[in-house]
Amino acid sequence: MSWNNTKKPSATTPETKGFDKEYYRNMFENNTAQAVPVRMALVAKENCAKTGLAISISRQVNSKGKIYVIDVDNSAKSTIDEAYPNDDEIVVLPLLDERDDSIFNDDSTVNYAALTDKMNMYTNIIAEKIKDGENITGIVFDGGSTYLKWCEHAMTAVLLRKGVIKEEGDGFSQKEWRTRNQLFRQTLTRLHGLSVPSVFFTFHLKDVSTYVDNGSGGKVLMKIGERPEWDKGTMRLFSQQIFLSRYMKKADAAAGVKADPTLKNNDDWVIKATIEEVKGRHMEMVGETHTILSVIKGKVKWDGLPMLTWGGNDE
């Protein structure tokens, strides 16, 4: 259902839409589980090669076929042009596109409800292309944390339309957050269910802070950890979770850089990937950390995670 549709939809059931007992009997007899080995979350601070790693692993699964990158953060194009300049089958689809009049209000502000509708329409189009036989090997949903914020903005528009709130700044009960969560989960669940071998979701890693005693009777805000910026329960969608971090000789907490004293020069840096969760194949690798990219004395070297294969190019 489109959140922009102000007309109240009529009640429908599977029967009224033509999905009767015989339809479901046929689905039961003929529909078997699809081979969809990779449903991966890539989580990191900014500039940690999430997009590049997603494309790399997708090509390890299938060296040929279309890869659609749904660019929520408007940051994927430059990475792909630099890292994969000769791969003509990678298609970047920007969502927040200044050329698209459908996602802006009359005062030129962003219509976030229309933006989430656009995302779901793109998913429908990809599903139609799969049904029509297009060879799609991978989808990268690049910017899951930003999209969650978009869903929050869209939620406000929906609550205004429903009359739950009168103005944008009005408060509302905790239960209304389910509107945001429904928008977010609907999109991720649809992408997850597409019949393609690999679907990747990138998320930001955010700091978790709390106030602690400073020893003199006062309180100071201290970082106590990190967590992915996603809706609670999102992780259940993913068969694989990989967390990435950037390292230099000296840590820079403000930039999200960790310390690696084995690096010889202050200007050298590396990106490491830790395999946090795997269901099925490669579960023995959980807990392993590998360097995927290094810049040593100005020389860039890409290693990726070549050990992660799922029966495509390797068999």
**Phi/psi of residue 218, each to 5°?**
-100, 180
Q: What is the pLDDT of residue 208?
A: 76
Predicted pLDDT at 161: 72
Position with higher pLDDT, 110 vs 163: 110
115-153: per-residue pLDDT in tens? 999 999 999 999 999 999 999 999 999 999 999 999 988
- Beta-strand ranges (E) seen in the chain are 38-44, 66-71, 90-94, 136-142, 198-213, 219-228, 240-248, 257-259, 269-278, 289-296, 299-302
Q: Which residue has the tokens 């979770």?
A: 241
pLDDT tens-place string over residues 46-87: 889 999 999 999 999 999 999 999 999 888 998 899 999 999
Residue type at 113?
A
Task: Return the SS3 of 54.
Answer: helix
Q: Which residue has the higher pLDDT, 27 or 269?
A: 269
Model confidence over 186-219: pLDDT tens digits? 999 999 999 999 999 999 988 777 777 877 777 8
pLDDT of residue 313: 57
Q: Give mean pLDDT, residues 93-114.
A: 92
Q: Which pLDDT score is estimated for 7? A: 46
Q: Is the torsion defined by CA of 1, 11, 152, 140 positive or negative?
A: negative
- 100 pLDDT more than 50: yes
Q: Is the pLDDT of residue 5 over 60?
A: no
Backbone angles phi, psi at 86, to 5 degrees: -105, 5
Where is pLDDT greater, at 314 or 132? Answer: 132
**Residue 226 reports pLDDT greater than 50:** yes
Q: What is the pLDDT of residue 2?
A: 46
Give mean pLDDT, residues 31-44. Answer: 80
In percent, the amount of the chain with pLDDT more than 90 equals 57
Average pLDDT over the chain reads: 86
Overall pTM > 0.75:
yes
Structure confidence at residue 299 (pLDDT) = 94
| Mean pLDDT within 263-287 | 94
What percent of the chain has pLDDT above 70? 88
